[in-house]
Each structure stands twice: as structure tokens, then as C-alpha cells.
Amino acid sequence: MIENMIHDSTREQLDDFLREAMDYLRSNEPRVYEILTGLMYDCIYGLHFNEWSYRKAVGALKNRDGTNGAHWSLEEIERLGIDFEGKDYNLYDFAFAINMIYSDYYGLVPDDVQTYRKMAVGFLEDADAPRGKAWLYHDAMKM
């Protein structure tokens, strides 16, 4: 049945169906909705942050310096000149890692962006860590 619907429907009809189905689940089956959206995110982005998930994750940071949220903006992080070509992480993974490390280690290490940059690269390029380390770390730390 679903295969016929997919084959015989327009993109707009499928979008409408999916939107209605997800709205129903969000209202009536929140746990199923949460699981399904997580699986859909994983299918699309893998174990990586996108801009939306990055902003949500860093928005929840409670920093050791008494502030909340990202210490460095995406624009400041882009100016660090990290080359993501061939890396198993993207700008948002790196931005999460450097801000998370600042959040957790401020006052314990020298307070300069190059120290945090090196720590973030080390965190992300950890040879014995699984792929998608930043995403998996965030997922494990969520409450």
C-alpha cells in the first residue's frame, strides 16, 4: 500500500502526508515522534551536526565562566581557517567541540583560542574514538 502511494503521488502530496503524519505523532505519540525524528536526522546528516542542531546544542551549554551558550560565533570559528576537506567532521562539529571544550575546561587550560582550537582538533581526530565523536558525545551528555 505505502509503495503504491509513494509511486503514484507527487512530491507535494508526499510532503503534505509526511507533515500531517509527523504533526499527528508529535501531538499524540511524542515518544514515537522523538524516535522517528532522530532516525530521520541520522539518515540525512549521519553522526554530524547541521546548523540547527549545532545552535540547539551550544544554546544549552552552561560554561564554567558563568555564561551560557557558545563562546565563539560560527563566523569567528570560520576565521580560524580550519580545512575540513577529508576530515570526518564539519564546521558545525568543530564549532560544537571548541565551544564545548571552552564550556567544560575554562580556567583549567590557557585561555586563548589556539589552545581550544588544538584541543578541539585533538578531540575530533582521536584515533581510538568512533566516527561522529562530537555528535555522539553531545547525544550521550543530553539530559
Q: d(Cα 130, Cα 102) in Å, to the nearest integer? A: 22
> Do 69 and 107 sit in the same domain of this protein?
yes
pLDDT computed for residue 38 by the predictor: 83
- Render the burial of 71-102: b for 16+ CB within 10 Å, e for the rest: bbebeebeeeebeeeeebbbbbbbbbbbbbbb
pLDDT of residue 83: 93
Q: Residue 142: its pLDDT value, please?
A: 76
- Considering the domain architecture, whether residues 135 and 94 belong to the same structural domain is answered as yes
Residue 5, pLDDT score: 67
- Mean pLDDT per 10-residue interval, the chain, length 143 residues: 72 87 93 89 88 95 96 96 94 98 95 95 94 91 71
Residue 69 and residue 109 in one domain:
yes
**Bridge partners for 62 per DSSP:** 68
Q: Are residues 119 and 61 in the same domain?
A: yes
Question: Smallest Cα–Cα separation from 6: which of 19, 22, 18?
Answer: 18
Whether 76 and 111 map to the same domain: the answer is yes
pLDDT, residue 96, reads 98
Predicted TM-score of the model (pTM): 0.80
Q: What is the predicted pLDDT for the residue at 44?
A: 87
pLDDT at position 2? 66
Total domains in the fold of the chain: 2
Q: What is the span of the domain harbouring residue 12? A: 1-45
